[in-house]
Amino acid sequence: MSGNEKTSPSKESKDSKTNNMQRWYLWIFLAALAGLFALAIATREPVNTIPYSEFLAELETCEEDAESCKFTEVSWDNVTGTVQGLDAEGLVVAESTGFTENPSQFEEKATAAGLPYSPKTRVGAWWESLIIFLPLFLIFGFIIWLSRRQQSQMGGIMSIGRSRAKTYSSERPGTSFDDVAGYDNVKKEITEVVDFLKHPKKFAEIGARIPKGVLLVGPPGTGKTLIARAVAGEAGVPFLSVTGSDFMEMFVGVGASRVRDLFNEARKMGSAIIFVDEIDSIGRKRGAGLGGGHDEREQTLNQMLAEMDGFEATEGIVMMAATNRPDILDPALLRPGRFDRQVVVPLPELEDRKKILGVHIKNKKMANDVDVDVIARGTPGMSGADLANLVNEAALFAVRGGQTQVTAENFDQARDRVIMGVKRDSLVMNEDERRMTAYHEAGHALCAALLPDYDPLHKVTIIPTGMALGVTMTLPEEDKHSIRKSQAENMIVMMLGGRNAESLVFGVVSSGAGDDLQKATGMARRMVTEWGMSEKVGPMAFGSNGPVFLGDDMMQSKEYSDDLARVIDEEIQNVLNTQEERCRKLLTDNRAALNGVAEALLATETVTGAEVDEIIASTTGTAS
């Protein structure tokens, strides 16, 4: 869903460039050294080396018979004592090692033969001089490399307080609101931030003050970071992105130093957006929690508060942050003048999910039976990240099945895996366990199908999935934002359907209803203590949703007396007992349908909601 994102060269990229250049220098030096040796071997002429006595005998031959003489000239090297005989073309015909002092016998024989005699002192070639000085070059190069390495290490230590923010330049194409599917209300709410960054003079002329900070609040995976980048892309200003953990370091004061450097860097850019992801890691309430606060984190937070007060709204710097825990942020961070605006980024609604799914399936091959409306309706409570994972899982199922297109069945398989877990095909149940599981799931399915104002039954299966031996799945037709008392009671009846089916058919109950009982008890407790759905307790709410790890709730006294606590327990028990009686009566009155659904599960292991409706209609004589 995001657009092209390119960052400006950072310190890390510069360091990698330096390392690459150093590697190239080493290879160039080794190649030059190899070239010198190859040149030395190539320029050396092949020479016929003979003993010195034989060389003298050859000179005697030249004295006796000049025509048969191989030499036209002889030379002697007073450094090495080498004597050479050269032909008319100046090439060495024969070579020998004589004496370093002038050999009178050699000179006499050469003179007697009438050959030119040329003593000389040999001078080495230029490449031989380079080889002689090679160790000095190596030592000098090692000293330079060592000094640069020490400088880079010192530079790394000195730059530990530098900001680690990634800069997204406004000159390169970035993310825009078109890349964010859905969330039209969120876009409208932060459009004025974009207008301010584009046209700051318009706001300054009338005296309007734009919020300094915008806090994006929402569950994980809802696209808060993407929305912040879209604001920068729409406004056409640089975007500095950093996470809260980037400020934390083992050295005290480093976080505050990085905050100062971050704001100084933003001021140099003129108009810019500073985005801090997961700000709750450094913005947590000061002085909260058992054992006191963390000094380094509190110093970092204090510096951030001071920096946000230090720049004016007309400077063109807007700070944005994202968190999924606004309840643990320090109140000073949320006051007007700092993060004075909170934008809620909720889980996507039905229409938003359709748009998000449309973005993710755009570049994938979809079969004609894939209906985005059906998929969106069956994924309530899923975030944008969950929907992206769902589409990818469906594509993986299609690949495993050897298909060339993703079908609706693949999306059903993907949804089952994401919601319920992986099917445990290797788990083998005995016949009694399998039969009890079938009636357990049939009880859930029958209650879901027969209860009024309940989500339509999608399917029921006794294939072990995840941690469950069977699963009953309903598919809501629309998103629900509140729960009525009758709906909450129906949910408890459906949760108790498996337990009561086991008790009705087998006369016993099993541990398979453990998770159902926990959910039913939790629902009943919320009805009594939070939602005011008990006549005896009345319109009162108890309990705190605050995070226990902050230490705020550890030493608080109870909010109600022991007598009221007994009334609350009695009301919770009364709710559960009443709904269990409803559930048992519903299953007793439709015992034939219960047997029919259970037998269908034993035969096929998976039964759809439509098939359950047919079984109910065939046993009762009326459509469900």
Q: Give 446: exposed, middle or buried? Use CB within 10 Å, 0-12, 13-18, 19+.
A: buried
DSSP character string of 62-93? HHH-STT---SEEEEETTT-EEEEE-TTS-EE
CA 277 to chain centre: 13
Alpha-carbon distance 131 to 419, whole Å? 73
Strands 82-86 and 73-77 turn out to be antiparallel
610: left (phi over 0), alpha (psi -120 to 50) or beta: alpha
pLDDT along the chain (624 residues), means of 10: 40 54 68 70 64 73 73 72 71 66 66 67 58 71 74 49 50 64 78 75 75 82 80 76 68 67 77 80 68 63 75 66 83 80 83 85 85 82 85 88 87 79 66 86 90 84 77 76 86 90 87 86 90 86 54 53 87 92 91 89 86 85 50
CA 439 to chain centre: 44
Is 441 among the catalytic positions?
Answer: yes
Indicate which residue of 441, 571, 580, 611 is catalytic: 441
Residues 6+ apart with CB under 8 A from 363: none
Locate tokens 């040149």: which residue? 39
**CATH of the structural domain 166-344, one choice from 3.40.50.800, 3.40.50.300, 3.40.800.20, 1.20.210.10:** 3.40.50.300
| Residue 157, CA atoms < 13 Å, CB-side half-sphere | 5
CB 460 within 8 A of CB 442: yes
Alpha-carbon distance 182 to 180, whole Å? 6
**CATH of the structural domain 350-420, one choice from 1.10.3720.10, 2.40.160.20, 3.40.50.970, 1.10.8.60:** 1.10.8.60
CB 500 within 8 A of CB 443: yes
Long-range contacts, 368-376 (Cβ 8 Å, 24+): 369/407, 369/408, 370/406, 370/407, 370/408, 370/411, 371/408, 374/408, 375/411, 375/415, 376/350
**Is the model's pTM score more than 0.85?**
no
Amino acid found at 295: D
Helix, coil or strand: residue 421:
coil
For the record, the structure tokens of 150 come out as 């020490």
Q: Give 295: exposed, middle or buried? Use CB within 10 Å, 0-12, 13-18, 19+.
A: exposed
Where do the structural domains in the chain lie, given as residue ranges? 11-43+130-158, 52-123, 166-344, 350-420, 431-620
pLDDT of residue 39: 65
pLDDT of residue 521: 92
pLDDT of residue 314: 47
CB 373 within 8 A of CB 252: no
**CATH of the structural domain 431-620, one choice from 2.60.40.10, 3.40.50.970, 3.20.20.70, 1.20.58.760:** 1.20.58.760
Nearest to 33 by CA among 127, 150, 168, 146: 127
pLDDT of residue 2: 38
The fold of the 52-123 domain, in CATH, is 3.30.720
